[in-house]
Chain A
């Protein structure tokens, strides 16, 4: 059952979706004009996954976007000029030109942890963020995304397994856009629903329609709330479709035409516009206002980016080490004494609650666990007739 956004939230979601798409369309034009430094990775068709999930976070929460989550950066307060200058290699960009694409970080204000190109690494990192927040007494949640392809990495497994063992407040969104560069998801995993992997970690997993921003937001909101309340990590698989190539250079000729056609009819922004109309959350005038705002902001920020200088070459030599730059003080929201001797002292021995023998007769695997989001703390025990067991 989806939550219903207020009128203000509903228009916010539309604004970010539209800004996300229009910004990426602008980036594609700049790419053709040879104004982008390096590659350009788009998220056309996937905007609802970025926007809906990030919109579920509270102000104190942390998030780590991936390459196709520009929409999440926008929700978190990055401006189009940040994205434009990053892609154009300008000195005014969040990384001053030291990195490109959406590889940005803002620990102090927006609580955004930057990605690298190697997939999966953010999952352990955000597990650590979640653990640190809990340790400091902050009731925060850490969220990150991974692709269908990235879910094949060892880092995915190590990170999610550690988060599960720690019951860390982590929300992991698998953004299943059906294609990892040119390889279909069926060649990444032998399971249809990647959310089903949650079972292997003893955590909740669920599948959502990643092209329905309200469903995405509702599921993420519930996951964030449950993780915040100590429910441990949650895996959400958002089914969506990458409507472009892997990057601008890739014409995606390997994608069967009917697949594009199917998903084109399910465009997340078209679907959401219908939702807004059907639920009388806007009218033509409101839509025109938001669209005009998006165009105005993009025009202003494009002018800013184009006027921005490139970095001075000698900047390349600076900043390998942080010398006196570290200004992050741990924000303690609990008494430090609790984690200092003598209060921290414990008896160092394991408590055994399970001797680890085989499950009792009749234990069955709940095959619908992933879809229904049932927590598999223990294998469900049901009496089944003796003869059915083998």
Chain B
């Protein structure tokens, strides 16, 4: 079984899908000759040629719009945002054109917008953000944010084959820091299905992306204190796997939601509302959140460390919640 990093798993998904289906094409800034700012698409131009790996001008609106137009003729474009922060430049095209195309006009838009997201690498406010909730609030889109190399590959393959526009967030901190033995044979990971990363009976942590790893680290610390924490990785934020969240909370009766996104309007609020509506009687304690601060992502290492959630803060919140 090949040992692949999270980044290599993403590349492997692209190669497999492009080998399988000539309708899959890539477009983005510096993705061809240079191979992408993070080298996710390295080697793909050599393999698939200029027509399928398209270096574009610095024009996020044009990239997203052109991808939508390509999808109308039966192509399955995968557009790269060099940093996912830059999707802000294409916000109108994504939220008003692409997202509403099927609902309003019956014109499906099978396309993927993928790009590196998240902090922890001192990239500053414009190269570290987690803008997923703008899009989770937009009916018509799907939003995926994998935490493992296995998922990154399987979810991206599903995203490319999905008949809806999928925003595929890649956590740049995970690109080269995690690796995994992946199956030789082809596999897919379905969109919209959460995964229990660690079972436990005392409380549930609902999280996703890099915070899955911080939450697992916190859960390990708490084993010595006699606490068994369940960690649920959402994997897809839209559509949300509500059943998985409710099922876990009904077993553990306590809920902590952890995300690297800022606090106000983060998905923790939506999950808290969901659990309050559907499983209030199952709760033995108030719902808690551990999130980033409600600020832009600061650049300097001590500031960014202060801004981001980490295993210690998650463990502290879990400890408190367990005691309630």
Which residue numbers of A lie inside 8 Å of B, CB to CB?
A: 62, 94-95, 98-99, 103-105, 107, 113-114, 116-118, 121-133, 135-136, 138, 142, 154-155, 158-159, 161-162, 165-166, 319-326, 328-332, 336, 339-341, 344-350
Contacts and interface: CB of A to CB of B under 8 A. Distances in A.
B81 to A, nearest CB: 14
Given A103-B104, A155-B61, A346-B46, A129 B72 contact: yes
Nearest to B23: A330
B301 interface: no
Contacts of B93: 121, 124, 155
Interface in B61-78: 61-75, 77
Contacts of B163: 321-326
A340 B19 contact: yes
A129 B56 contact: no
A107 B107 contact: yes
Given A323-B163, A344-B47, 7 more contacts: A124-B66, A132-B74, A158-B62, A321-B140, A340-B22, A345-B46, A347-B46
Contact of B108 (A116, A166, A326, A344): A326
14 contacts: A105-B101, A124-B68, A131-B70, A135-B25, A136-B74, A142-B69, A158-B57, A320-B139, A322-B108, A322-B163, A325-B163, A328-B72, A339-B52, A346-B50
B324 interface: no
Contact of A341 (B47, B73, B106): B47
B272 interface: no
Given A118-B96, A124-B65, A350 B103 contact: no
What 9 A-B pairs have minimum CB-CB distances, sorted nearest first? A128-B69, A124-B65, A330-B74, A128-B66, A105-B105, A344-B49, A322-B108, A326-B163, A158-B59
Contacts of B68: 124-125, 128
Contacts of A125: 65-66, 68-69, 72, 97
B298 interface: no
A165 B57 contact: yes
A340 B22 CA distance: 7
A348 B46 contact: yes
B59 to A, nearest CB: 4
Interface in B244-283: none
Contacts of B66: 124-125, 127-128, 131, 159, 162
Interface in B163-189: 163-164
A136 B69 CA distance: 13
Contacts of B60: 158
A322 B57 contact: no
Highest count of chain A CB atoms <10 Å: which of B19, B32, B54, B163: B163
Highest count of chain A CB atoms <10 Å: which of B49, B54, B100: B49
Contacts of B107: 105, 107, 113-114
Contacts of B142: 321
Contacts of A131: 54, 66, 69-70
Contacts of A344: 47-49, 51-52
A34 B118 CA distance: 51
B102 interface: yes
A142 B64 CA distance: 17
B204 to A, nearest CB: 28
A346 B49 contact: yes
B290 to A, nearest CB: 31
A344 B25 CA distance: 12
Nearest to A142: B69
B59 A330 contact: no
Contacts of B119: none
Highest count of chain A CB atoms <10 Å: which of B23, B56, B69, B72: B69
A132 B69 contact: yes
Contacts of B45: 346, 348
Contacts of B35: 348
B97 A321 contact: no
Nearest to B92: A118
Contacts of B67: 128
B195 interface: no
A234 to B, nearest CB: 17
Contacts of B72: 62, 107, 113, 125, 128-129, 132, 328
B311 interface: no
A376 to B, nearest CB: 18
Contact of A328 (B48, B63, B73): B73
B309 interface: no
B33 A349 contact: yes
Contacts of B52: 339, 344
A107 B46 CA distance: 33
A131 B71 CA distance: 11
Contacts of B59: 124, 158, 161-162
Nearest to A96: B106
A72 to B, nearest CB: 16
A333 to B, nearest CB: 11
Highest count of chain B CB atoms <10 Å: which of A114, A138, A347: A114
Contacts of A348: 32-33, 35, 45-46
Nearest to B59: A158
A321 B163 CA distance: 8
B110 interface: yes
Contacts of B139: 320
B73 to A, nearest CB: 4
